[in-house]
Chains A and B, each alone.
Chain A
Amino acid sequence: MAARPGRGIDWFPYLLLTPAFALVLTIVAWPLFETFRLSLTDAAMKPTENYVGFANYVEIFQDDFGEIILRTFIWMGLSVTLKIILGTCGALLLNAALPGRAMFRILVMPPWVVPIAIGVFMWSWMYNGQFGMISGVAQRIGLLSEPFEFMAYGQSAFIATIVTDVWIGVPMVTLYLLAAMQSVPKELYEAAWTDGASRAYRFRRITLPLIAPAIFTMALLSAIWTFNSFDIIWILTEGGPRGATTTMIIDTYKTAISRFRYGEGAARAVMILVFLTAFSAVYLGLLMRLTRRGGQPQ
């Protein structure tokens, strides 16, 4: 860095951080602290709040909280797996040097560009049992014999919310992996081709190892976003039917905002942070061990 006037600590770089710090402190750090604090109280729609120790935590585990945790992880796992698989396929297809691909690339993005809630309105109509497109088309081609109300049954509602989540997330994954594929040096492919390697072999031995870091990064980011996803389930089912699509986020929101039980809601929010942190730590730990054992590709 350039010569610095004076001695002692240079405050300028810290000064540059202040706006970001102030905003994040108010909107994220302080509420985070406050969530921890509230989780130890019986705060609700009343003037006073008392510290109750870990009573809220004991309380939530007496409900069906274990089931909700499990459901959240299944929801996340299925959704992220589908996003990564579809995204990789999509990126491969869009990476093919064929006419029209610039156009296709533009057409992939709309689900990400429009407000999530609006996309979900559209899906909500698609899932309509009596008049919606999916049920209608399925009946026409003989998959269903009568109208099927997707949101009325736990399992179909669960799958429906996953499909919508995948729809919203897949454009981002596709473009991200496409960018990773395009950064693979062309010489590698040409050298392999000269040696007679088939297209499938080149994909398996060149593309896949080189885009693996991007896939792992994207999987983690997707997992975090999916875990925190609220709009989709809220608009489609509000967590129903009979709790079949209630993830930890929906559960927290319902407890805190719909039923005004702030203390208990805060305890649930803390559990989300605990599980998400644990998940990320395990994921990153495994990843590091994997890369250390496997070493660099090639």
Chain B
Amino acid sequence: MIDKYTWWEKLLIYTGVLVFLTFVLAPFIEAFMVSLRPIDAVFRVPYRFFTEDMSFAAYFTMWENVPKLWRYILNSFFISCCATALALACIIPAAYSFSRFEYRFRNPILGGFLAINMIGAAVLIIPLYKLMLNLGLLNSYASMIIPGAAFTVPTGIFLMRSYLLRIPKELEEAAYVDGAGRIYTLWRVILPVALPGIVVVAITTFITAYAQQFLFALTFNSNSDLHPLPMGLYQFFGRQRIVWNELMAASLVGILPVLLVYVFLQRYIVAGLTAGAVKE
């Protein structure tokens, strides 16, 4: 058995973790505290962490001042779900092709897909804007879903491919021997076995699409009924006098669903995130 930590090593590690987590969580904690303060306590000097008459009042009044909050939250989910579905429809067959078949230009094509990761959406924003304009997609859900999906496809292919490579080829060969067609084999033999990998890719894609809705919404959409949460709240952010306690309350309520999803599914998410870190 390897050496145990001495008491001062333990102290050092826990202190380090505490400092690290303080940095990571401070904005959330402060946002929560602000959401509990009445607005005149928010704008008060000197700064105090606890103020008198803290309450959940902002969580009730925000629905009047941000009337479409529900819509924003649902829009965010809807856009991310559609983007995930669209991305998966591209990722799964492509990853299967890259992992199972030998053909000309396979590796250059794969390399080409991965190189897309280098290109940020903001770089292509001008032609994308013109594309959306010409297709008549400005101010529609599609203008946020389609680009959102496209930029998650390369990473998704990479993750899915490394998962599929681990599934033994004998599985398909057995299916072929039994006379199964290739599409049938993919659908009925490979996909069920690859389900855990698909779940990982789906969740990772969802979270990425969810985190990165701002740019597309800012540029392609001006219909406030369709805004995802970040853009919906950004409108209030730009005002002269920002109602911080309600803005923070709305932010926290808005991110609560995805935080819950994360807590329940975090094992899959971590698996997806770190797939590249471990040598196969």
CB-CB contacts below 8 Å: A1-54 with B: 1-3, 10, 12-14, 16-21, 23-24, 26-28, 30-32, 34-35, 38
Q: Contact between B149 and A115 (Cβ–Cβ < 8 Å)?
A: no
Q: Contact between B130 and A94 (Cβ–Cβ < 8 Å)?
A: no
Q: B93: which of A17, A133, A224, A249 is its contact (CB, 8 Å)?
A: A17
| B74: Cβ under 8 A from any A Cβ | no
- The interface centre, meaning the residue of A19, A183, A235 with most chain B CB atoms within 10 A of its CB, is A19
Q: Contact between A96 and B5 (Cβ–Cβ < 8 Å)?
A: yes
Contacts of B214 in A (CB 8 A): 115-117, 230-231, 235
Q: Contact between A104 and B21 (Cβ–Cβ < 8 Å)?
A: yes
Q: Contact between A98 and B274 (Cβ–Cβ < 8 Å)?
A: no
Q: Contact between B229 and A98 (Cβ–Cβ < 8 Å)?
A: no
CB-CB contacts below 8 Å: B149-193 with A: 149-151, 153-154, 157, 169, 172-173, 176, 182
Contacts of B54 in A (CB 8 A): none
A115-B210 contact given A1-B100, A16-B97, CB 8 Å threshold: yes
| B16: Cβ under 8 A from any A Cβ | yes
> How many residues does chain A have at the interface if contact means C-beta atoms less than 8 Å apart?
106
A98-B10 contact given A1-B100, A28-B119, CB 8 Å threshold: yes
Q: Contact between A98 and B13 (Cβ–Cβ < 8 Å)?
A: yes
| B57: Cβ under 8 A from any A Cβ | no
> How many residues does chain B have at the interface if contact means C-beta atoms less than 8 Å apart?
107
Q: Which residue of B lies closest to A116 (CB)?
A: B211
| A→B interface (CB under 8 Å) | 1-3, 10, 12-14, 16-21, 23-24, 26-28, 30-32, 34-35, 38, 86, 89-90, 93-94, 96, 98, 100, 104-119, 121-126, 130-133, 135-137, 139-140, 147, 167, 170-172, 175-180, 183, 189-190, 193, 199, 214, 217-218, 221, 224-225, 227-231, 234-235, 249, 252-253, 256-257, 262, 265-266, 269, 272-273, 276-277, 280
Inter-chain pairs besides A27-B147, A116-B214, A176-B273, 17 sampled, C-beta below 8 Å: A26-B131, A98-B13, A107-B21, A109-B266, A124-B237, A126-B30, A139-B47, A170-B24, A179-B277, A221-B117, A231-B215, A231-B230, A235-B214, A262-B126, A265-B126, A269-B124, A272-B120
Q: Which 8 A-B residue pairs are closest in the complex by CB-CB distance?
A: A136-B47, A228-B120, A179-B274, A117-B230, A27-B150, A31-B127, A34-B127, A16-B97
